[in-house]
Structure 1
Amino acid sequence: MTVLTNALANFAARPVSTTAQARIVTSLSALDWLAVGRAGADEPVSQIVRNMVLAEGGAEQAKLFGGGAAPLRAASLVNGTVSHALDYDDTHFAHIGHPSVAVFPAALAVAQALDKPIVDLLEAALVGMETSIRIGLWLGRGHYQAGFHQTATSGAFGAAVASGRLMAFDMEQMKKVLGLTATRAAGQKTQFGTMGKPYNAGLASSNGVEAALLIQSGFETNPDAVEATNGFGATHLGADDTASALEGLGEEWLFENVSHKFHACCHGLHAALEAARELDIAEPEVAELKVKTQPRWMSVCNQLAPTTGLGAKFSYRTVIAMQALGHDTALPESFSDEVCTDPRLISLRDRISVEADENLSETQAFLSLLRRDGARREAVHDLLTPLSLSDREDRVREKASKLIGGETVDEIWSMLRTGGRAAELAARLGG
């Protein structure tokens, strides 16, 4: 049975009817991706991978975050890794994957080489990211829980489809590129907390480009390798949930519901930070504060007393104390070793408790604040609560401005919304 492969290949190869919301959200994700990539260009993992690629040399086909240019596969590896280095990119909770960091680097590299307009780049990226989400749904939560990193696995298929669409693949070529990607897609959650996590995103992007280039050159492969016996799903603990994966395909754009990060820390903390934002918590008024979260996050982001900035990014108590003390959690530099030793933060942190609540979803958090005057206030926030397009645009642009400057954001946003060539957009990667 190749129902999934046939449906996705047909979707990826034919003209699509996109919604205005899907197009705007895609443009916002492109801006967000560019901002976090430029902001992460000097991270150690970024420098290591970029230096390796530049030392190898080769055709200067695509620009790199941080400067320089490289062949398509290598550029995708660098730009995927760099843009996930800060772990500040968008997330889709349908499968718990980061679509943009896998797909945009591949799409932009290929679009540059083919001198495509930005509108074609964005459409190909949207189709690729939608494909990655659908593949992720087909694989199911068990695939993720078993230790596979959906950004790396389903993301590779999205990168391949976006590349193939820009290369004008027909349905048969799309089936082949999905089949070939099935033997390349890889990435483990065991890399979380190391340089291997952002590298997973780079691998997904590079693997997708490689598969597309080979199919374009006439490479033959098993087009049924995603669903076949001993294929990708069977060997990667896939749920084979074809019905969920294909529901509304071509009419409903699941990517519209992507969640942008507005705090430079683990996404598991964001619902709590947004609830605290709604309560407008300030340190002097806090007698005690209780946080309730979905149990799965307790082992991920409930470090009780971290001593490093990296640890703070995985600590409910620390990030909420930071916010209450006026630290801007949208700025990566706010998460420092020094902030963890601040006596005022430690005092407030010790008035905050965290507990699991199975009645909450993975995207929800509940906060209960007891003020010093005896009043109690409560808030619940769900990251899946839709933002209006205008509010989403304001918050993404505000975040991007903090990372790379308002003038640069205005320039990039104008290009994304009014057109131009992909190569002109890529020229902004270097900073």
Structure 2
Amino acid sequence: MTPAQQLGALADEVRAKGLSADLRTDLAGRVLDLLGNSLAALGEKPAQVIREVVADWGGKPAATALGIAGKLPAPSAALVNGTLAHSLDFDDTHLPSVLHPSSAVIPAALAVAERTGASGPSFLDAATVGIEVTCRLGMAGYDEENANSVFFDRGQHATAICGAVGAAVAAGMLLGLDSDGLTSAIGIACSMGSGVIEANRTGGTVKRVHCGWAAHAGVVAAEMAKHGLTGPPTVLEGRFGFLQAFCGDRFDIGQVTRGLGEHWETPGIFFKPYPCNHFTHAGVDAALRLRRAGIDPTRITELTLGVPEPVLRTIGEPIEEKRKPRSGYHGAFSGPYTVAAAMLGGGGLGVFHEDFTDGAAQDPARLALAEKVNVVADAECTRIFPRQFPAVLTVRLDDGSTHSERVSHNRGGPANPLSADELTLKFTSNAARAVPEETAGRLAEAVWRLPSGGSVNDVLGIVPTSGT
């Protein structure tokens, strides 16, 4: 069998036999995380734009989109919800591929599960397989020697490109496609994935729509396969196939099929505990530890944040700008500011949305502490990167003493996981931006029931039907 056929066969087998309770519970946590991130993003401009666009499209009502009264066609609902899921860059992350697979796959699976009346376990199984496909395609385009994604190196957004294929598999499973149909859904979706990341360099809000478009494409590809459209079985590895087109000769097809059905990537995907650039998280972790150890910020005379060398240019340079971010958004990409926020702020799981407002970024106390932070390359952190985003933080106090915290495993990853209670706290803190506390509690309870037989409709029947 070709790699696409092997993926189709796995998806067909899982649809028939189901997955373990552990995998279903893990995925339920990702659904909860995604819904919280999405509710928190209801007021964001890109999401408002997409809601207006799909309202103009119209179509047969079938699935729920957060913030919209009434139902939409499943592809439109997937587009809205995928856009919301990625709008705050608070979504889970697969390393070292740096994919955000849940935001592309789960919205597609939600839309089709609602339309078909799928059970909670069936929905979770489909989303898990879709995420697995997404991650394996991303890793097929990962350059181990250079520790970099070939997709990103060529200016392509791997999340959107690989996510469209994973979303198609999840949607196809919920539509009841057999292995041949699922293979065709993969072949079709490979012609539909897209996304360039120039916006990361020079601005623009289009990147926030990438996961929504991937979810939309996945649903459409699966529907096309269900109605008889076919895709090439060699679509992944072929001379004119997916990986050759996006990665040239720099791909490893073995990443797609090696250990398929035995090893699952999903439990190893990192949750983001803080709403800031993932490279800053270990520094935040270290600052929070020092704070809990009793370090008085008013006595700090100097801080040194050691990070992987490739991370310096993102969160440490130019140091003058990183110490004085121009806005709350820029503060989320600043090593000095995020350390200061962790020492002085709070909320959520340590730092939260209120720490990244424009007002917070202009707070004199935070800026004064950020001014004392130097960001340097640390050899041990560089060695670990990019399978972790580690950091070491050293503070010098006014009595000349120094105190250090080294964080080798990010909070939220498999070696330092968030508990179910912590995931729920992140969710309720996010949801508080859009719904009453009682509604958030009901939503969390409905999501956590999904592995034991709850319904997707039970969850989506609780979500708000108007934007903020």
TM-score (norm 2): 0.87
Q: Which residue identity does 2:278 align to in structure 1? A: H
1:3 deviates by 3.6
Change (3 A) 1:300 1:85: same
Please report how far the alpha carbon of residue 360 of structure 1 lies from its aligned counterpart in structure 2 after TM superposition: 4.3
1:30 offset after TM fit, Å?
A: 0.4
Residue 145 (structure 2) aligns with: none
Q: Name whichever of 48-57 and 139-148 sits farther off.
A: 139-148
Distance 1:94 1:282 in 2: 36
- Check whether the contact 2:94–2:100 (CA below 8 A) recurs between aligned residues: yes
Residue 46 of structure 1 corresponds to which residue in structure 2?
Answer: 47
Alpha carbons of structure 1 residues 144 and 4: separation in structure 2 relative to 1, 3 Å: farther
- Picking from 413, 416, 431, the partner of 2:447 is 416
The more displaced of 313-322 and 9-18 is 9-18
Partner of 2:161: 153
**C-alpha distance in 1, partners of 2:80/2:2?**
34
Q: CA deviation at 1:388?
A: 6.8
Residue-by-residue CA offset, 1:63-107 (whole Å, 9 max, x unaligned): 111123211111111110111111111111131111111011100
Which of 275, 279, 284 is the matching residue for 1:264? 275
| 1:220-259 alpha-carbon deviations (Å, 9 max, x no partner) | 3323222211211111015331333333221221110111
The 3 A distance-change label for structure 1 pair 10 and 97 is same
- Structure 1 SS opposite 2:276: coil
CA contact (8 A) 2:18 2:125 kept: no
SS of residue paired to 2:247: coil
Q: CA–CA distance in 1 between the matches of 2:456 and 2:278?
A: 30
Q: Which residue of 1 aligns with 2:64?
A: 63
Partner amino acid, structure 2, of 1:342: D
Return 285-294 or 297-306, whichever deviates more.
Answer: 297-306
Q: Letter of the aligned partner of 1:270 in structure 2?
A: H
Could you say what secondary structure the match of 1:386 adopts?
Answer: coil
The 8 Å contact of residues 94 and 133 in structure 1, kept in 2 or not, is answered as no
Whether 1:296 and 2:310 are equivalent positions in the alignment is yes
Q: Note the 1:352-367 alignment, pairs <5 A.
A: 352-357=373-378, 358-362=382-386, 363-367=389-393
Counterparts of 1:84 and 1:307, CA distance in 2: 23
| Structure 2 SS opposite 1:236 | helix
1:269 and 1:301 in contact (8 A); partners too: yes
Partner deviation per Cα, 1:390-425 (whole Å, 9 max, x = no partner): x42122111111122453343223222333321221
Shift of 1:282: 4.3
Distance (Å, rounded) in 2 between the aligned partners of 1:148 and 1:80: 18
- The more displaced of 143-152 and 10-19 is 10-19
For residue 462 of structure 2, give the secondary structure of its aligned residue in structure 1: coil
Distance 1:158 1:152, change over 3 A: same
SS in 2 for 1:28: helix
Aligned counterparts, 1:321-340, within 5 A: 321-328=340-347, 330-340=351-361
Question: 1:9 — aligned with what?
Answer: 8
Alignment-derived partner of residue 36 in structure 1 = 37
Amino acid at match of 1:412: L
Q: CA RMSD in A?
A: 1.9
SS of 1:423's equivalent in the other structure is helix
Q: Of 255, 262, 277, which aligns to 1:244? A: 255
Counterparts of 1:87-106 in structure 2 under 5 Å? 87-106=89-108
SS of the residue 1:260 aligns to: coil
Identity of aligned residues (%): 29
The farther-off stretch of 394-403 and 405-414 is: 405-414
Deviation at 1:131, TM superposition (A): 1.1
Is contact 1:271-1:365 (8 Å) kept? yes
CA distance in 1, matches of 2:428, 2:230: 46
2:247 equivalent to 1:222: no
Distance 1:184 1:352, change over 3 A: same
SS of 2:375's equivalent in the other structure is strand
1:185 pairs with 2:187: no
Partner of 2:146: none
Shift of 1:191: 2.6
**2:443–2:463 Cα contact (<8 Å) kept:** no
Q: Displacement of 1:54 after TM fit? A: 1.1
- The residue type equivalent to 2:332 in the other structure is K
Q: Distance in 2 between matches of 1:322 and 1:108?
A: 35
Asked if the contact 1:77/1:202 (under 8 Å) is kept, the reply is yes
The alignment of Structure 1 onto Structure 2 pairs a total of residues equal to 429
Partner-residue secondary structure (3-state), 2:358: coil
Q: Where in structure 2 are the equivalents of 1:170-181 lying within 5 Å?
A: 170-181=178-189
1:284 to 292, 298, 304: 298
Alignment counterpart, residue 392 of structure 1, candidates 419, 430, 434: 419
With 70-79 and 399-408 compared, the bigger mean Cα shift is at 399-408
CA deviations over 1:253-297 (Å, ceiling 9, x no partner) = 111011111111111111111122222254223221111112222
Aligned partner (choices 419, 427, 431) of residue 461 of structure 2? 427
Report matched runs for 1:99-118 at 5 Å.
99-118=101-120
Q: Which runs of 5+ in 1 are unaligned?
A: none
Distance in 1 (alpha carbons) for counterparts of 2:255 and 2:454? 37
